[in-house]
A and B are shown apart, each in its own frame.
Chain A
Amino acid sequence: MFSMVKRFSIFNRNTLSLFSQRIYFDRTRSLSDVSTIYNEELEQKEEITQNDNQKDVITPALYAFAARMHLDFSDPKILLQAVTHKSFTDTNLPSNKSFKELGNCAIQLFLTEYFHIKYPLLHTNYLKDVVEVYNGRSTLATLGHEIGLNYVVRWNKSTDVFSTPENDGQSESTDTNESQVAYKSRKVTYTIGRVVAQAVQAIVGALYLDKGPNSAQTFVHDHLLSREFAIQKLYDVKEPKRHLSALMKRLEREQPISRHLYIPYIVRLLHEAGRKTKEPIFVIGTYSGTEKLAEGFGSSIKMAEHRAAKNALLNHYFKEIKDFTLPSTIDTYQKQMSYIPTKVGDTPAKI
């Protein structure tokens, strides 16, 4: 459901006119049927509050949510604002956009700091990818649904951005730069996942403002960083043997095998079974001198070498530091004096 936006973008401008806006709207409507049962109850509650002429009433669900997440703001309206999407116009409160921007930056700071110190040798591309996984729309939407935020957010499914008269009798221009779409009326639709993800970021932003950065950091560590993700999944190199050679050269671990010939690493066949049969299996180890860097299996020797090199690179670049102090937790003089920084990591080897 979250690849909906990407699916839309592969249609080019010419085919866009063939698809009516209604089809897109209906599709998003069916995908956002996650909480339609409760949304009807919410609409009924909204009708009642409108009849009472009270706009920003804190629902019991919101009180329960605040107690469940141990959120203790100085003013309960702050949480109500953090949970109000910009599409929800029937309110006197501002939307959660400013909270969301601040929260997004705060989350990225805490996540980047944590992963950079924990994995000092990691390439920055993977560092950014990991932060994107933990702070991405899909993860935050899943988190929001798991904590019951989708029953509490205030939002509308669609808002009219601008409605201008449609130009039916215009000739179709072959120049795709001249977009006819901009002149037609456009409805912006939102999905519950996107709204919930923004609400999570807004809550972090509201915590940052109202209770301070330490409180926001505790929230991020408790709810975002406690979640599990196998960071090795991200690693994807096309030529691991080449990268391993470059790495060994950079670490100056090339082994001399004759007077002028140095090799970066040695490959040895450790185990094998079923050679010349339908399902052979080979286990190969990469060695630097007598030290084994890693081993890899495969149904062919080349595949086993590939996996062994890849595992050797993983063992090096994804090395974890266990004991570290996060610099953002230093807020007293004592902590500053007793702060022991971790060693700055080397840059990855270039091929």
Chain B
Amino acid sequence: MLTKPLITIAKNGVGAFVFSCRKIEFNYCERSGSSRGMIEYLQNHLIPFAKENPQLEVVVTPRPSKHPLITGTYLNRKQKQVCVRNKKPDAIAEIVKLIRDNTGVTAKKRFKKPVISTTESIRGIWSPFHTRPHSI
């Protein structure tokens, strides 16, 4: 029988919570002015952040002659990129926290389908045969 094998559906958080963000990559340019805030962030704020979050893989790569970029990769194979040109280190720290706390679900999907559930409804789908009879 060539049927699709039955699988179980994940419910993240019911048993144990698996952190969604698996890697954050920082790109900066040594010479450009837009990377100044980024370089200061990398020198002062990054290592404590990486130590606090051992579940993240942190990668720092120079990218010459380009604006500084932060890319978050998630377990659903999606990526979120934020360009942090001309930003101060504090603002960059907030953006990094935003990327870390995000799941990879796209913004469109979160607005189009805000509720993710395996059950159709809590109280059951309406049936004409199971309503109370109408009485005047």
Contact = CB atoms under 8 A, between A and B. Distances in A.
Given A6-B2, A270-B129, A229 B15 contact: no
A324 interface: no
Interface stretch (A130-138, A199-207, A254-262, A315-323): A130-138
Interface string A31-68: 00000000000000000000000000000110110011
A226 B9 CA distance: 9
Contacts of A142: 7-8, 10
Nearest to A226: B15
A181 B71 CA distance: 50
Nearest to A132: B6
B11 interface: yes
A63 B6 contact: no
B54 A64 contact: yes
B15 A223 contact: yes
B21 to A, nearest CB: 10
A229 B7 CA distance: 7
Given A148-B75, A270-B129, A70 B9 contact: no
Contacts of A60: 57-59
B67 interface: no
Contacts of A3: 2-5
A143 interface: yes
B118 interface: yes
B16 interface: yes
B49 interface: no
Nearest to B15: A226
Interface in B42-77: 54-59, 75-76
A64 B53 CA distance: 9
Interface in A119-171: 133-134, 136-139, 142-143, 146-148, 151
B80 interface: no
Interface in B1-33: 2-12, 14-16, 18-19, 22-23
A320 to B, nearest CB: 16
B10 A227 contact: yes
Do most interface residues of chain B lie in helix, strand or loop, or is the interface mixed? loop
A223 B57 contact: no
Contact of A147 (B23, B59, B75, B129): B75
Interface in A67-124: 67-70
Contact of B9 (A64, A147, A227): A227
A314 B91 CA distance: 58
A271 B18 CA distance: 48
A233 interface: yes
A146 B75 contact: yes
A134 B57 CA distance: 30
A3 B19 CA distance: 30
A68 B22 contact: yes
A283 interface: yes
B56 A64 contact: yes
Nearest to A136: B5
B5 A64 contact: no
Contacts of B14: 226
Nearest to A6: B2
B18 A138 contact: no
A2 B5 contact: yes
A227 B11 CA distance: 5
A64 B15 contact: no
Contact of B7 (A6, A133, A270, A271): A133
Given A3-B5, A61-B23, 6 more contacts: A64-B57, A136-B5, A139-B8, A222-B16, A226-B16, A271-B129
Interface of B: 2-12, 14-16, 18-19, 22-23, 54-59, 75-76, 118, 128-129
8 contacts: A3-B4, A63-B57, A64-B55, A70-B16, A139-B7, A147-B75, A229-B6, A229-B9
